[in-house]
Amino acid sequence: MHLTIPKDYDPKLTVRQTQEAIRYIRETFQDELGQELNLTRLSAPMFVEHSTGLNDNLNGIEQPVSFTMQDLPGQTLEIVHSLAKWKRVALKKYGFKMHEGLYTNMNAIRKDEDLDNLHSSYVDQWDWEKVIAQDERNEATLKATVRQVFKVIKHMEHEVWYKYPQAVHTLPEKIHFITTQELEDRYPELTPKQRENKICQELGAVFLMKIGGVLKSGQRHDGRAPDYDDWQLNGDILFWYEPLQCALEISSMGIRVDAQSLQAQLKEAKAQDRLQLPYHQMVLNAQVPYTIGGGIGQSRICMLLLGKAHIGEVQASAWPQAMLDQCAQHQIQIL
């Protein structure tokens, strides 16, 4: 367990006011995101069947919560880690056209998460996905979409300030772009997490690009599943978060794999056995559209905009008693 206690922390809002603000941010943000990116809301599953290959395996070491059902003999169902692959199939299934997309409320359980101020075993995010053309699988498309997402976040800052001026956390005016290799070259003596903190403190808001592959040092900046994002066309939206003196990841997003990048990344990850799974066969045979997509943390957005010290102030989850006791002593109001 790791817990950071900001000096002289003041939550600004009561628990009830915070709950009202959470509802307002969630309802408003999803409407504005849908309008900006041309997305339609869909319902999404909380669990998928293991053999489909649709679940996100994250860094490859986290184990999904799984179960069986009486009426589905021989099948193993898994609580989703994210809907990264499911969304792409849904775009095909529901007949979405070029530059149309979907968003959905995604609720997940990541039981192997290390709990701290920013990480919970309960994950709630807006998962979104949008159809693009094959020739739009490039850095220009990625950066333009990142700027659109950033625009929505900045507009939400103004909306929250109007309703809760005493509580809103001020955000930078622009977002900067840097690759993981550029970051390693810049700060070779630091760990990947220290590099993220350093660049975010310097620039305020950063889109850190090209996550998943091996860097010149022989190390990876961070793990990334090999079968949804193209590691050359993905990244994380990070903000410098003054209350906790660290980088705060708000979104992981990217252009999705095509047949070529899927095969190359599965080979690098030594996971070529997945090529036989139904989802992977669809990608190999061009039976799903080319897409860009990502996840935006709902609780993370609320935490960022309201300047909260702990993600447990904006979502209900499970926490060690020692953490709850420390938070109570410092006005951190865990729900």
Residues recognised as catalytic: 56, 110, 125, 236, 249, 252
141: part of which helix (H) or strand (E)? helix 139-163
Angle at 215 between CA 209 and CA 217, to 5 degrees: 140
What are the φ/ψ torsions at residue 32 (nearest 5 degrees)? -70, -35
Q: Are 80 and 46 within 8 A, CB to CB?
A: yes
Q: How far is it, in rounded angstroms, from Cα 17 to Cα 1?
A: 28
Long-range pairs for 280-285: beta carbons < 8 A, 24 or more residues apart: 280/53, 280/227, 282/89, 282/92, 283/227, 283/257, 283/258, 283/259, 284/259, 285/259
First to last CA, the chain: 18
Nearest to 231 by CA among 257, 203, 210: 210
